[in-house]
Structure 1
Amino acid sequence: MKGVLLAGIFLLVAVFQVGAQSRLSGVGDGTGTLSGLLTTADGKPAGGVTVTLKGVNKTTLTDDDGRFSFRRLAPGNYDVEISYVGYEPIDQTVSVESGKPVRLSLQLKVSEQQLDQVTVTNGYNKFNKKETDDIARLPLKNMENPQVYSVVTKEIMKEQLITDYNSVFRSIPGAGVPIVYNQGRSALYSRGFVTENLVRNSVSGFVYTNIDPANLERLEAIKGPSGTLFNSSMISFGGLFNRVTKHPFDSWRGEIGYSGGSNDLNRLTVDINQPLNNDKTALMRVNGALHTEQSFQDAGFTRSYMIAPSFVYKANDKLSFLLDVEATSFNATSPVRFAPSTTGKIHDVRNLGIGYKRSFGNNTLDYTTRQVNIFGQINYQLSSQWKLQTLYTRTFSTTRGYVNQLIGKTDSTLSQQSQKEDFPYYGTNIQQNIVGDFFVGRLRNRLVAGVDIYNQKSEWTNTTVNMPAINFRHPGAGYNNFNSTKVDSAAARSAWVNYRTNQSTFGAYFSDVLNLTEKLNVMVSLRADRFDNKGTYYPGADSTAGSYTQNALSPKLGAVYQLVKDKVSLFGNYMNGFANVNGTDFNGGTFRPQQANQWEGGVKFDVLRHKVSATFSYYDIRVKNVARDDLAHPGYSIQDGTQLSRGFEGEVIANPFAGFNIVAGYTYNDSKYTQANKSVQGLRPATAGPASLANLWMSYRIVGGKAKGLGFGFGGNYGSASFQTNTASFAFTIPSYTVLDATVFYDQPSYRIGVKVDNLTNAQYWSYRLAPQNPTRVTANITFRF
């Protein structure tokens, strides 16, 4: 799979080079050329719009810069037609002469934001949408940014018929198989570190529950220890995942969709956008979803609903307000979690003989999670160079019910465990930024500076019940004893635990991008944090334990040199992240935060008029201040441990010809403990995931003729073997996997029909927690737009 992806990348480049030469070869052959620029009413490029020369059956599409061209045209008059659903068509006659290029400048009566909301049957590079202000918190293009990141667009999500949040990550290089925790929340991999989903719209989105993708505009995977601009509690040393939600725009639009499929899937989604007044200064958008689905195993289900209203109010040309709300409820059973016996002789999940479709659970052992996410934003344009941005988030999430796991006792027996809990979380984040784009002399500066206040509280009430061991190969009647009646009876006789936590972070930061020349820019950033953990309060004993404070500085440096302006960039960065460490050493001293320092270098491409976008980089992350056992003082720790994580990442997004789109990625990660306890010294952490990961998605959509809008997609994911446990005394292996998917769809301006088959070969593969993943699954969708 790796070789196929790399060979495909080089083949694509060769094809583009040959194609570019052939397109230019028509000069001087008695023909003419016609080219043009299409913009929106607000002066922005209109990408992906169909341009037709009537009567000669020639059609093309504008690229991301709004440009289009026709070559080798015989001299004569041509009718140029530009049509876009819901807007006034453009029809203009032009005269083409031999050897004299004709250039047009045309404008659609539609804003950029409206244009982005309409799904059309076109063939431009629709997966290449990397221009976002979220990554650097500045108006910085990908080719100017020294950081590596990936963006999963809504176009990919629609084409892949995404019905659950974790499936979005298939198109992110290095993400791997999702790790789903007991409350339904999830994490994935980034550069050898487990990375949770805790960031929403670039600030705290801390919820310990499932996430529904119905209001997801795009998903941004920001790579590397990004502690400078993001709260350390929200990220890992490998990076972060930022989910960007849908916001209102200034025209009426609606969409309703239904998906049905394997495992009794029934999913209804709605997306309604509506201006609230005639001058379109008050806007509202509402997204919602109803979802029910059974597990492919003998027990297990998910039943959920979500409502997500969003409001925008434009007080004047300088001041605007945004209020964004998510409210969800999930009723589900715990995902399978299996910890094998570390004293057995079996070291591979395939050799256990445990039934792939056995859940070892019961539908009465379910839980209910609820969340309310409130996001507010105020933007005030101080001048043409400066603006103020105020961000506010308030999150609440809670889990109530049973969360379960399976604990291996021997190579053939396991014990079922259930934790009955009531577990609410509360989070508050306030952030104030000032953003500037100004010149000092002839040097351009783009600056963001801000302060960040974050608080998180939780309350936990729970008890744990362990059932008698059963033979998991031949469980017999004991298989059905794991149910709510049995667990409730045992829980009534068990000890309950109740405690509360309260912790805060106070941060200040700045980041400045300085253009030394037109092609060379440097980035200098720094963050200072004060972490205050109030400790864990136990109401029964009226006591608090584990309180501490820590301070941390997190710098970031970067440089970009554009070998070819806006097309080829060399970049390098130094980035830092940190994680707070609780506890004390033998002498009573508190620990310092763990620090991760990354050096990275690479190259970015955006060539052939945005038809090929690619990033290749090598990184080296070294973690210090890791706490490990103090052998001289049993029961205590010392803080001198180190860890190394380094590797290669590559991503290619290509549009070889109209209608054909490709996104491909490959990552290799070498991770190990360089100074640690003897049990793991020199070994790869089990939490680092597979060393090699690859992803590929190819799609073709017919862009002209009677079959216009018909499309096909094919792709898959590969992961090398990894570990559930990896110590000197015991290692347990998760095998490599290759999963292939395919889709067929018919996309029209007013409706879309699609069918997707996931896991075509019915491959068996597992997550880090040894949860079996879905076998072959079929999903059908119909969506109406109005």
Structure 2
Amino acid sequence: MQSSISLPRPIPRTALAQAVLLLLYGASAHAQTPPTAETMLTPVTIRSGAEQENAITPVTGFVAKRALSATKTDTPLLETPQAISVVTRDQMEAQGVQTLRQATAYTAGAVSNYFDSRVDSFSARGGTVTQYQDGLLRIYGTYNTSRPDPYTLERVEFLRGPTSVLYGQGSVGGVLNLTSKRPQADTLREVQVQVGNNARKQIAADLTGALDQEGQWLYRLVAVGRDSGSQLDHVDDDRLVLMPSLTWKPNAATSLTLQALHQKDKSGSLIGFFPWQGTQLPSQYGQIPRNTFISEPGWDAYDTTNNSWGYLFSHQFNSDWTVRQNLRRTVSEVDYRTIYTSFTANAATGRPARPVFNSDNRTVYRDASWQINGGRMLLVDTQIEGKLHTSSGTEHTVLAGLDVQRNQTSQSSWRSVTAAFDVYNPVYGNFRPPTASQLMRQPNVEQRQWGLYAQDQIKWERWTATLGLRHDSAQTDTEGRPAAAIDDKAWSKRAGVTYQMDGGWAPYVGYSESFQPLGGVDVYGTPYKPQRGQQWEAGVKWQPPGQGISAYAALYQLREKNRKTTDPSNPLNSLQLGEVKVNGFEAEMQASLASRWDMTLAYALTDAKISRSNAGDQGQSVASVPKHTASAWLSHRFASEGRGGWVVGAGLRYTGSQWSGTSAISTPSATLADAMAAYDAGDWRVAFNVINLTDKVHITQCLARGDCFYGQARTYTLTSTYRF
């Protein structure tokens, strides 16, 4: 497969041609007459005052007041007619976040049911959550890339509900947008050393500042090196990350940031797909030990290489009009080798197609799998933003954009069934690994999408209305399978209004839509239609003036149509009569008070039901969706003002029980505790963080197909950071 991607259609070529023209324009702007005082765009620098905050710069404390994800413009949260949360760098540092899953652990309604080395997956409001980074899609395909390192992130924004009007195809769950660390004008440098249980040893560095006296060239280098085990025997958690970036600001109106990432991970199978018995249900020999490694030492692997490069470009023509373009190219490779509890049926012995013990109640058969997965992504998003003023006092922030994607996945694979394996007394070495010649190449899958979108944010006195419209065209082709080709087109709409009251209160109401192509055809050769989602949401946000508090409460109702359901006249076919209806309530508060108290409170009620189906499950709950989730975190700094002195904190996370899709088993509720203690001495900071303080053995999910999953065991780290 070629390492470069030719442009698919005239529209993508236009987008990349625009990229060249924009860069040339930015370069020529340096030679032109500098903007006047009226048209100058204030340079981005780090200040302690809240008035300097924007949607990409560092935030002191837990409370951010502005975000990009909900509108693709730098917009106050109070003016956004949709629920959105921001997890700041300071919050991630205080809570000792090691994975993206942990970054959202104290966010209302965000559910991550898998403790996994392969991917950080999320759901919310009864649907999946799509991941973006710096406004561009981060993942396409399955098990073909690496997980992000939280140390490389400045913030995480979680926008709930349908978001297709700005982002194109996606489910009703929402968008998780990761903001990368970017070069800063002020010199900030730190080196971090971390040790922990499971033989964890990590060193990291974050260096940024100006390269010249004029501040036209800014740099940043983020690096992470880790050598670690995991809570499972024989599974590593090693990582190498190099993330350089360079910003060129020839004048106050133009900015070009070049970004690159090189990441190599070495890990393995954290999930064994253990049967119900021995995990959630009783077993003759007790519960399967949580650290049991069911694969084969020395062969098992989830090794990833991820390389990406791109840029973030912005140019302000005058005080009213700005053009932006973001581009990223990603190439990833994964060597995935695993052995797990078998799902292979055996008619001769009566063995079902699900994980079960053999007749001795202690051994299981295992499925072995080897995949070489690849991913190629090319993403471009071009926007123009304008600010218009009318004689009636109405202000418009208009946005028009074109985003283009071309993504390709590849796979070579091998599968087999191995001999019986005793999960209570593992004996390794009886497995004969396959050779590379046994790998079978699978058809490549290529997806192309372009979307045109327009948005108007209208401000009049205390009212703000947000209107959006988008048209998408998405094509997916499977190599050698013309019948599986997909060509979907869709319009998406969004409308909302907020009213800003005295005291920092802002009630709002909004409507939004989503579409998600399913791919494939039914037995009659008819392509499946995309799933379509619709949501109504009403709520209130609160940010009292002069206080470090941001809170919201929201009620919503959404429907997602065209879900597949069983064809009663043909068990080999699926019909698109399936529909899910979700009613929910969410409330969340983040606070940083007088630089001494930091806290988060969150609660979500998610009532997700199957409203239409032919599978006999109409009226039942949607599987793997907890009805209740809640969390609380509180930390206190023992210092009179600012940084310095001791900090202690603790948190509780509650996940309610979940319907598994069968009455034979359910996923139980779980309450977990976290804690931290740190000493900050200005240049030095030493922190001790513990996840799952009581080392509770908990089941995160049981599925109707026959397997259950363990959650994260107690994990502690001691981190020493030196800033200079």
Deviation string for 1:643-689 (max 9, x for gaps)? 1122111001234555012111011101121111324332222243x
- The Cα of 1:557 is off from its aligned counterpart by 0.8
Alignment of 1:69-148 (within 5 A): 126-148=61-83
1:435 corresponds in structure 2 to 385
CA distance in 2, matches of 1:254, 1:611: 27
- The answer on whether the counterparts of 1:361 and 1:482 sit within 8 Å (CA) in structure 2 is no
| 1:683 lines up with 2:620 in the alignment | yes
2:666 corresponds in structure 1 to 733
Alignment of 1:150-189 (within 5 A): 150-180=85-115, 184-189=118-123
| 1:560 lines up with 2:498 in the alignment | yes
CA distance in 2, matches of 1:456, 1:624: 26
CA distance in 1, matches of 2:331, 2:657: 37
- The answer on whether the counterparts of 1:152 and 1:171 sit within 8 Å (CA) in structure 2 is no
Question: What 5-or-longer segments of structure 2 have no aligned partner?
Answer: 1-40, 343-354, 703-707
- The answer on whether the counterparts of 1:219 and 1:242 sit within 8 Å (CA) in structure 2 is yes
| 1:772 lines up with 2:719 in the alignment | no
Corresponding residue to 1:506 among 440, 445, 450: 450
Deviation string for 1:184-206 (max 9, x for gaps)? 2220221122325x310111222
| 1:716 lines up with 2:652 in the alignment | yes
- The answer on whether the counterparts of 1:265 and 1:291 sit within 8 Å (CA) in structure 2 is yes
- The answer on whether the counterparts of 2:152 and 2:243 sit within 8 Å (CA) in structure 1 is yes
Corresponding residue to 1:451 among 399, 402, 414: 402
1:87 corresponds in structure 2 to none
- The answer on whether the counterparts of 1:305 and 1:330 sit within 8 Å (CA) in structure 2 is yes
CA distance in 1, matches of 2:458, 2:187: 41
| 1:480 lines up with 2:428 in the alignment | yes
Alignment of 1:358-373 (within 5 A): 358-364=292-298, 365-373=300-308
CA distance in 1, matches of 2:430, 2:645: 51
1:405 corresponds in structure 2 to 340
Partner amino acid, structure 2, of 1:604 = K
Q: Secondary structure at the match of 1:301?
A: coil
- The Cα of 1:509 is off from its aligned counterpart by 0.5
CA distance in 2, matches of 1:757, 1:683: 38
Deviation string for 1:282-316 (max 9, x for gaps)? 11100000112212233311111000001111122
- The Cα of 1:139 is off from its aligned counterpart by 2.9
CA distance in 1, matches of 2:542, 2:53: 25
CA distance in 2, matches of 1:418, 1:672: 36
CA distance in 2, matches of 1:709, 1:300: 38
Bigger radius of gyration among the two? 1
- The answer on whether the counterparts of 1:347 and 1:731 sit within 8 Å (CA) in structure 2 is no
- The Cα of 1:432 is off from its aligned counterpart by 1.0
CA distance in 1, matches of 2:643, 2:467: 52
Distance change in 2, residues 1:550/1:204 (3 Å): same
CA distance in 1, matches of 2:81, 2:531: 24
- The answer on whether the counterparts of 1:256 and 1:271 sit within 8 Å (CA) in structure 2 is yes
- The Cα of 1:710 is off from its aligned counterpart by 1.3
CA distance in 1, matches of 2:506, 2:292: 51
2:373 corresponds in structure 1 to 423
CA distance in 1, matches of 2:669, 2:515: 32
Distance change in 2, residues 1:633/1:116 (3 Å): closer
Distance change in 2, residues 1:261/1:318 (3 Å): same
CA distance in 1, matches of 2:197, 2:59: 29
Q: RMSD value over aligned CA atoms?
A: 2.7
Deviation string for 1:109-159 (max 9, x for gaps)? xx879x96697xxxxxx2111312332112321111101111111101111
- The answer on whether the counterparts of 2:609 and 2:621 sit within 8 Å (CA) in structure 1 is yes
- The answer on whether the counterparts of 1:582 and 1:590 sit within 8 Å (CA) in structure 2 is yes
- The Cα of 1:497 is off from its aligned counterpart by 4.3
Alignment of 1:243-254 (within 5 A): 243-254=178-189
CA distance in 2, matches of 1:580, 1:431: 20
1:637 corresponds in structure 2 to 574
Q: Secondary structure at the match of 1:214?
A: helix
2:352 corresponds in structure 1 to none
Percent identity, please: 22
How does the TM-score come out when normalised to structure 1? 0.79
Deviation string for 1:42-73 (max 9, x for gaps)? 6999976xxxxxxxxxxxxx7x45xxxxxxxx
CA distance in 2, matches of 1:414, 1:497: 29
How does the TM-score come out when normalised to structure 2? 0.85
- The answer on whether the counterparts of 1:537 and 1:545 sit within 8 Å (CA) in structure 2 is no
Alignment of 1:193-592 (within 5 A): 193-196=127-130, 198-206=131-139, 208-232=145-169, 235-338=170-273, 340=275, 348-349=280-281, 353-364=287-298, 365-407=300-342, 408-410=355-357, 412=361, 413-441=363-391, 442-472=393-423, 474-475=424-425, 479-481=427-429, 486-488=432-434, 496-515=440-459, 517-534=460-477, 536-538=478-480, 544-564=482-502, 567-585=504-522, 587-592=524-529
CA distance in 2, matches of 1:247, 1:657: 28
Q: Secondary structure at the match of 1:488?
A: coil
- The answer on whether the counterparts of 1:457 and 1:501 sit within 8 Å (CA) in structure 2 is yes
- The answer on whether the counterparts of 1:193 and 1:687 sit within 8 Å (CA) in structure 2 is no
Partner amino acid, structure 1, of 2:472 = D
- The Cα of 1:757 is off from its aligned counterpart by 2.1
CA distance in 1, matches of 2:215, 2:641: 37
- The Cα of 1:748 is off from its aligned counterpart by 2.8
CA distance in 2, matches of 1:218, 1:350: 43
Alignment of 1:602-621 (within 5 A): 602-607=539-544, 609-621=546-558
Q: Secondary structure at the match of 1:179?
A: coil
